[in-house]
């Protein structure tokens, strides 16, 4: 017994705020995602409203309301998300904080990392962004750092691979 609280001994990884922000382009990427997710339902309601006779007026009102809500969400939410999402990689662990209302703080010790993936969807490619997914031996699942510059993401994946290869443990 060392006299220290559990998990606080020498070499223990502790919960702390991550230091790095996402790339500023992530705000525009999120806005584009919000607008594209809103566009299809708005278009469907508007099209139905055009052919629905007397009920069409209500469908067009619903389309307008959804369009206004979608636009407001696309303007306000991504800026908020940008302020609260943080990440950091050290030689000991991957730190991630996500969420706006329900914040989630996660730590993945290097010895628990199984795979590191870089993902670039079409919209991310347009904004020159990428996501890094760190799969761990955890029931909670992978850690996903979204909204990184694509070159930063590639360097991060390379660094994580190098650190995990040098870290003893079997990632289970």
Q: Which fold has domain 87-166?
A: PH-domain like (2.30.29)
Q: What is the pLDDT of residue 70?
A: 96
What contacts 136, CB < 8 A, 6 or more positions away?
108, 112, 113, 114, 142, 143, 171
| Alpha-carbon gap, residue 32 to 123, rounded angstroms | 8
| Alpha-carbon gap, residue 19 to 96, rounded angstroms | 9
| Alpha-carbon gap, residue 123 to 26, rounded angstroms | 11
DSSP state at residue 20: B
How does pLDDT run across 59-101, given as a tens digit for each residue? 999 999 999 999 999 999 999 999 999 999 999 999 999 987 8
What contacts 164, CB < 8 A, 6 or more positions away?
110, 113, 116, 171
At residue 1 the predicted structure's pLDDT band, cuts being 50, 70 and 90, is very low
pTM: 0.80
CATH 2.30.29.210 region(s) of the chain? Answer: 87-166
Asked if residue 3 has pLDDT above 60, the reply is no
How does pLDDT run across 114-160, given as a tens digit for each residue? 999 999 999 999 999 999 999 998 888 899 999 999 999 999 999 99
Percent of the chain with pLDDT over 70: 88
Mean pLDDT (the chain) is 88
Asked if residue 6 has pLDDT above 50, the reply is no
How does pLDDT run across 18-46, given as a tens digit for each residue? 999 999 999 999 999 999 999 999 999 99
| Alpha-carbon gap, residue 11 to 64, rounded angstroms | 56
Residue 93: which of 156, 13, 7 has the closest Cα? 13
| Alpha-carbon gap, residue 21 to 69, rounded angstroms | 27
């Amino acid at each position: 017994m060392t006299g220290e609280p559990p998990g606080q001994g020498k070499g223990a990884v502790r919960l702390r705020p991550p230091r790095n922000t996402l790339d500023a382009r992530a705000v525009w990427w999120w806005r584009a995602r919000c607008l594209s997710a809103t566009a299809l339902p708005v278009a469907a309601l508007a099209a139905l409203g055009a052919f629905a006779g007397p009920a069409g007026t209500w469908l067009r009102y619903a389309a307008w309301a959804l369009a206004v809500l979608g636009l407001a969400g696309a303007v306000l939410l991504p800026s908020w998300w940008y302020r609260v999402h943080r990440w950091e990689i050290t030689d000991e662990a991957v730190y991630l904080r996500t969420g706006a209302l329900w914040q989630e703080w996660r730590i993945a010790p290097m010895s628990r990392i199984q795979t590191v993936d870089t993902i670039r969807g079409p919209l991310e490619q347009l904004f020159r962004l990428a996501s890094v997914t760190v799969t761990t031996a955890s029931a909670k699942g992978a850690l996903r750092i979204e909204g990184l510059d694509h070159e930063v993401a590639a360097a991060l994946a390379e660094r994580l691979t190098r650190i995990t290869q040098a870290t003893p443990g079997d990632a289970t």
